[in-house]
């Protein structure tokens, strides 16, 4: 199957912390989902596990990409086994691999094989600047940039059902708006088929190239769907989600017969449910329902299979539905874990996918539908690591200061006990609106392996727990959600195996912001690790990348408009209250970050130094909002552990009293 589903950015400052660990966020058209609810990993140990250094943890290989070629016998994959992400062709017959590219600087991410030969589409930016271009790797090894130019961003959408064309969104005409181009699959000649004059976000195309679905973000609680008939003489968007009040609508996929659009909406309750819009009659009807958010729906190219996922308590439950027999595909027994990147061969005989668990990084599998046989094709975990030394998470809930139940993932070190208490790390995801999810994270596993408990908090404002929970922090950032972080400390202190006086905060992007807020506005924590976190909201909101223009109103509705909410944004920005930071801080930043500019970290480091407080700064000149190069991820992981050992594990005093703002 030629991957075509484009995931729209749902959280504009979403943390790249997990991407840095797993690099799945940059892999096009991949979704994470849980196959089994069984706990992964070994049973509780009574003795200390073997401990591994950061280099050993990052000997683990990160894989992504699952496009199957036209002959159905190979998968296009990207892998960081050389230290930088490169492209590989993996045999579905025997698992043998051939390296297709040999980049030593920029990370290359697999997009798709071509429909009728083994040419390859891939994406890459420059040093993490997120200005992705789309490239073709020819059969003779030559590379062509299909989206040449400066300061543009390109996104692949899909191939046409007959393979003659493929479709790409780029903002080359206007950096604020993405137009839609159709490329000839043989000559690469292209034509703009939709000029985006209205600041809408293209999201889905029908396989015959006729219908385009677009999203309009009105604010962070309200959005619309519009469709365009690209074959009309004057293509123009038509609103199909007319409504009153605040309701979200999100296009998912056109049906294989191109007669309907499947979309999700929270119109009928707390969670996103799926509906079907008939393109001929304009009628809407229910399509799928669940007790949680329906996260995604897409179809195999031949229309036989539908894949959908439900975000259930930080794990997505997947269903692969056989449309031919109108029942779910009965998969054979497999290891527990998260499934993602489900892709089918053109003849429908093979299915490629990845499995990922808390203690097991993503591995590529192939399922032979005729033989009902599943085989693993990769071994991602470092051969030096015994999986039983790693730790599976437990979903827990604790009371915040206002008694609101806060969900979290808890990692208890094997060596922790009432007789051997361990320090605790409150690990905060990105956003606003992100979610800490189950799955392998070498950052967490490395720290837990070395005796640090980790509590991955899904504070109010996190996605996945209903729209009421999601909006509880609107224009209350650094206030109500910060109370959830403080309450997480109280929860950790209630555990008999936690050292009460050694609890720290750590997070990336928005989680980095909450980390700095916890240090600037409370005196609760012994130290903090800020990974490319916002420290000056006025500057960040005024300098958002131009390609976020269609989401600007939504972001301002949630965070505040710097023109009208200046006083509040100043009040919640840690930079202006850095004098209150009295405990050690580690700051880690990518110089090319377009979301959280380097100056955010430069200035907070300088301000904390003026307090005479220990502050360490790790700056990667060749990274952006997340770290893709293995050497940099190792350096960051080593810095985290060294900092924590120095200022937490071996520190004798409780947190210093910080001035309250």
Q: Which of 113, 124, 217 is nearest to 166 (CA)?
A: 113
Residues 442 and 298 both lie in one domain: no
- Is the pLDDT confidence value at 510 over 90? yes
Please list, in sequence order, all residues whose beta carbon lies within 8 angstroms of the beta carbon of residue 173, skipping any fewer than 6 positions away.
179, 192, 195
Tell me how far the alpha carbon of residue 47 is from its chain's centroid. 35
Angle of helix 442-449 versus helix 630-644 axis, rounded to 10:
40
- Average pLDDT over the chain reads 91
Tell me how far the alpha carbon of residue 142 is from its chain's centroid. 31
- 645 occurs within a structural domain: yes
**pLDDT value at residue 546:** 83
The Cα–Cα gap between 76 and 344 comes to: 13
Residues 413 and 347 both lie in one domain: no
Residues 476 and 534 both lie in one domain: yes
**pLDDT value at residue 347:** 95
Tokens of 218: 């009105």
- Is the pLDDT confidence value at 154 over 70? yes
Residues 554 and 643 both lie in one domain: yes
Residues 458 and 314 both lie in one domain: no
**pLDDT value at residue 549:** 76
* Max Cα-Cα span within the chain: 76
Q: How do residues 249-277 score in pLDDT, each as one tens digit? A: 999 999 999 999 999 999 999 999 999 99
The CATH number for 334's domain is: 2.130.10.120
Q: Which of 455, 434, 581 is nearest to 511 (CA)?
A: 434
Q: Which of 651, 650, 623 is nearest to 636 (CA)?
A: 623
- 280 occurs within a structural domain: yes
**Domain limits for position 85:** 17-37+62-376
**Count of helices and strands (H, E) across the chain:** 11, 37
- Quickly state the pLDDT bin for 22 (edges 50, 70, 90): very low
- Is the pLDDT confidence value at 40 over 60? no
Q: How do residues 93-109 score in pLDDT, each as one tens digit? A: 999 999 999 999 999 99
Number of neighbours of residue 206 by Cβ within 10 angstroms: 25
Q: Which of 19, 14, 12 is nearest to 439 (CA)?
A: 19
Please list, in sequence order, all residues whose beta carbon lies within 8 angstroms of the beta carbon of residue 50, skipping any fewer than 6 positions away.
386, 389
**pLDDT value at residue 46:** 52
- 187 occurs within a structural domain: yes
Q: Which of 659, 531, 547 is nearest to 601 (CA)?
A: 531
Going 634 to 635 to 640 to 645, the CA torsion angle's sign is positive
- 55 occurs within a structural domain: no
- Is the pLDDT confidence value at 17 over 70? no
**pLDDT value at residue 1:** 36
- 46 occurs within a structural domain: no
Residues 411 and 527 both lie in one domain: yes
Q: How do residues 306-334 score in pLDDT, each as one tens digit? A: 999 999 999 989 999 999 999 999 999 88
**Rounded to 5 degrees, what are φ and ψ at 274?**
-100, 140
Residues 370 and 392 both lie in one domain: no
Tokens of 491: 């929860």
- Is the pLDDT confidence value at 14 over 60? no
Residues 366 and 460 both lie in one domain: no
- Is the pLDDT confidence value at 528 over 60? yes
Q: How do residues 618-633 score in pLDDT, each as one tens digit? A: 999 999 999 999 999 9
Angle of helix 510-521 versus helix 480-493 axis, rounded to 10:
80
Q: Which of 337, 342, 320 is nearest to 329 (CA)?
A: 320
The Cα–Cα gap between 2 and 455 comes to: 38
Residues 167 and 276 both lie in one domain: yes
Residues 407 and 285 both lie in one domain: no
Indicate the helix (H) or strand (E) that contains 491. Answer: helix 480-493
- 53 occurs within a structural domain: no
- Is the pLDDT confidence value at 15 over 60? no
Q: How do residues 165-194 score in pLDDT, each as one tens digit? A: 999 999 999 999 999 999 999 999 999 999
The Cα–Cα gap between 142 and 522 comes to: 56
- Is the pLDDT confidence value at 44 over 90? no
Number of structural domains found in the chain: 2
Chosen domain end from 317, 348, 376: 376
The CATH number for 435's domain is: 3.40.50.1820
Residues 366 and 392 both lie in one domain: no
- 2 occurs within a structural domain: no
DSSP H helical segments within 396-441, as ranges?
none
Contact criterion met (CB below 8 Å) for 525 and 505: yes
- 504 occurs within a structural domain: yes
**pLDDT value at residue 645:** 98
What DSSP line would sit under 499-568, residue for residue? EEEEEEEEEETHHHHHHHHHHHH-S--S-EEEES--S-HHHHHHS--GGGGGGHHHHHHHH--TTT-HHH
Q: Give the mean model confidence (pLDDT) for residues 507-535.
A: 98
Please list, in sequence order, all residues whose beta carbon lies within 8 angstroms of the beta carbon of residue 9, skipping any fewer than 6 positions away.
548, 551
Residues 455 and 341 both lie in one domain: no
Chosen domain end from 315, 341, 376: 376
Kindly state the percentage of the chain with pLDDT values over 90.
Answer: 86
∠ CA 310-505-47, rounded to 5°? 80
Chosen domain end from 325, 347, 376: 376
Burial (0-12, 13-18, 19+ Cβ within 10 Å), 63: buried
The residue assigned the tokens 């051997």 is 420
Lowest-confidence range among 48-62, 475-489, 539-553? Answer: 539-553
């Amino acid at each position: 199957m030629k991957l075509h589903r484009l995931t729209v950015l749902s959280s504009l400052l979403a943390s790249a912390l997990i991407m840095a660990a797993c690099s799945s966020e940059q892999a096009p058209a991949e979704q994470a989902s849980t196959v089994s609810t069984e706990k992964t990993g070994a049973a509780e140990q009574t003795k200390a596990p073997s401990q591994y250094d950061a280099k050993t943890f990052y000997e683990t290989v990160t894989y992504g990409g699952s496009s199957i070629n036209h002959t159905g016998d190979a998968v296009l994959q990207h892998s960081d086994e050389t230290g930088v992400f490169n492209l590989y062709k993996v045999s579905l017959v025997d698992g043998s691999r051939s390296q297709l590219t040999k980049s030593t600087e920029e990370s290359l991410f697999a997009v798709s094989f071509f429909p009728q030969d083994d040419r390859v589409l891939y994406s890459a930016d420059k040093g993490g600047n997120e200005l992705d271009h789309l490239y073709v790797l020819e059969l003779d090894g030559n590379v062509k940039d299909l989206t040449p130019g400066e300061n543009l961003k390109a996104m692949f959408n899909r191939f046409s059902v007959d393979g003659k064309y493929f479709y790409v969104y780029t903002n080359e005409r206007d950096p604020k708006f993405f137009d839609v181009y159709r490329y000839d699959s043989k000559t690469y000649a292209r034509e703009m088929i939709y000029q985006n004059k209205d600041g809408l976000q293209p999201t889905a195309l029908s396989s015959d190239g006729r219908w385009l679905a677009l999203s309009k973000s009105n604010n962070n609680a309200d959005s619309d769907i519009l469709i365009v008939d690209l074959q009309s003489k004057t293509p123009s968007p038509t609103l199909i989600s007319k409504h009153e009040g605040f309701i979200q609508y999100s296009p998912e996929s056109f049906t294989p017969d191109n007669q309907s659009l499947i979309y999700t909406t929270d119109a009928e309750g707390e969670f996103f449910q799926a509906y079907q819009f008939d393109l001929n009659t304009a009628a809407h009807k229910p399509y799928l329902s669940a007790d949680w958010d329906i996260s995604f729906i897409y179809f195999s190219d031949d229309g036989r299979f539908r894949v959908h996922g439900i975000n259930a308590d930080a794990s997505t439950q997947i269903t692969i539905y056989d449309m031919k027999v109108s029942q779910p595909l009965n998969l054979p027994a497999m290891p527990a874990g998260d499934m993602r990147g489900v892709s089918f061969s053109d003849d429908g005989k093979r299915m490629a996918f990845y499995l990922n668990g808390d203690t097991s990084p993503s591995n590529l599998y192939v399922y032979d539908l005729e033989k009902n046989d599943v085989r693993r094709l990769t071994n991602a975990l470092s051969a030096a690591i015994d999986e039983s030394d790693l730790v599976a998470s437990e979903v827990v809930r604790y009371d915040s200061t206002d008694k609101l139940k806060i969900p979290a993932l808890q990692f208890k070190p094997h060596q922790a006990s009432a007789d051997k208490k361990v320090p605790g790390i409150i690990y905060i995801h990105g956003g606003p609106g992100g979610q800490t999810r189950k799955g392998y994270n070498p950052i967490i596993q490395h720290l837990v392996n070395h005796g640090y408990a980790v509590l991955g908090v899904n504070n109010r404002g996190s996605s996945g727990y209903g729209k009421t929970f999601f909006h509880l922090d609107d224009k209350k950032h650094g206030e109500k959600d910060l109370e959830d972080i403080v309450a997480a400390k109280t929860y950790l202190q209630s555990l008999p195996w936690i050292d009460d006086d050694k609890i720290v905060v750590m997070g990336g992007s928005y989680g980095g912001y909450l980390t700095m807020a916890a240090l600037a506005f409370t005196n609760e924590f012994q130290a903090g690790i800020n990974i490319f976190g916002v420290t000056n909201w006025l500057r960040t909101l005024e300098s958002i990348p131009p390609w976020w223009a269609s989401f600007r109103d939504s972001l301002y509705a949630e965070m505040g408009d710097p023109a009208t909410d200046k006083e509040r944004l100043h009040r919640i920005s840690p930079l202006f209250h850095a004098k209150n930071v009295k405990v050690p801080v580690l700051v880690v930043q990518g110089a090319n970050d377009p979301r959280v500019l380097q100056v955010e970290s430069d200035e907070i480091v300088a301000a904390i130094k003026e307090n005479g407080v220990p502050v360490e700064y790790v700056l990667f000149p060749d990274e952006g909002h997340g770290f893709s190069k293995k050497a940099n991820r190792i350096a960051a992981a080593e810095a985290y552990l060294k900092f924590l050992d120095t200022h937490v594990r071996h520190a004798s005093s409780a947190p210093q009293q910080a001035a309250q703002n």
